[in-house]
Structure 1
Amino acid sequence: MAETKKKPNALQQPLQPSAELQAVIGSGQVTRGEVVSKIWDYIKKNNLQNPQNKREIVADAKLKPVFGGKDRVSMFEMNKHLAAHLK
């Protein structure tokens, strides 16, 4: 019986980040899951969560281009912005 290779799911698919996203997470192909993890590491390291509303991310100069020029995005909105920077 031939073994069928499972196709990686959307979170495991290696993708190429845009130049704006690479400025935050580094270069090279990454999976969607790794991107989200690296973005959260960056947000926490740089204290970019709104203290009054932890679900809101306050963009710094590096994140603003990734977030479509917005100063603040919700964590749910953030994933939509990240998707636009992955090919």
Structure 2
Amino acid sequence: MAEKKVAAEKKPARKPNAAFMKPLTPSKELAAVVGSTPLPRTEVTKKIWDYIKANNLQDAANRRNINADAKLRPIFGKDQVSMFEMTKLVSQHLK
């Protein structure tokens, strides 16, 4: 009986969603931060977070907010955005 229970617990490996893995071309504003080569959405988000952390752009009082610098302001359209709003604004700069 123990063998049957072990076999039932194994699940097939989860496949990544093809939409997230499709390379997209960043706009010239976004390319200033992540580079101009086509990247999947996941990599774009990762590179933006690397840039935010490297330049200490998270708001000190509320870490969920990101303060835009000269490179991020054209992408965000304002001086400060929440991390949830950021993904929506970045997706508008991907084709």
TM-score by length of structure 1 reads 0.88
Point out the structure with max Rg over C-alpha.
2
Aligned residues: 81
Quote how far apart the aligned CAs of 1:84 are.
Answer: 0.1
Q: Partners of 1:17 and 1:32 in 2: how far apart?
A: 10
Q: Partners of 1:10 and 1:55 in 2: how far apart?
A: 26
Residue 46 (structure 2) aligned to one of 18, 26, 37: 37
1:1-87 equivalence runs, <5 A: 9-67=18-76, 69-87=77-95
Helix, strand or coil: the match of 2:81? strand
- Give 5+ residue unaligned stretches, structure 2: 1-14
Quote how far apart the aligned CAs of 1:10 are.
Answer: 1.8
Q: Which has the higher helix share?
A: 2
1:47 alignment partner AA: N
Ranked by relative contact order (alpha carbons within 8 Å, sequence separation 6 or more), the top structure is 1
- Calculate the aligned-residue CA RMSD, in Å: 1.5
- Percentage of pairs with the same residue: 61
TM-score by length of structure 2 reads 0.81
Helix, strand or coil: the match of 1:73? strand
Runs of 4+ in 1 over 6 A off after TM superposition: none
- Give 5+ residue unaligned stretches, structure 1: 1-5
Q: Encode CA deviations 1:20-69: one digit per residue, 9 max, x unaligned.
A: 000111111000000000000000000000011110000000000010x2
Helix, strand or coil: the match of 1:65? helix
Quote how far apart the aligned CAs of 1:71 are.
Answer: 0.2
Q: Partners of 1:11 and 1:59 in 2: how far apart?
A: 25
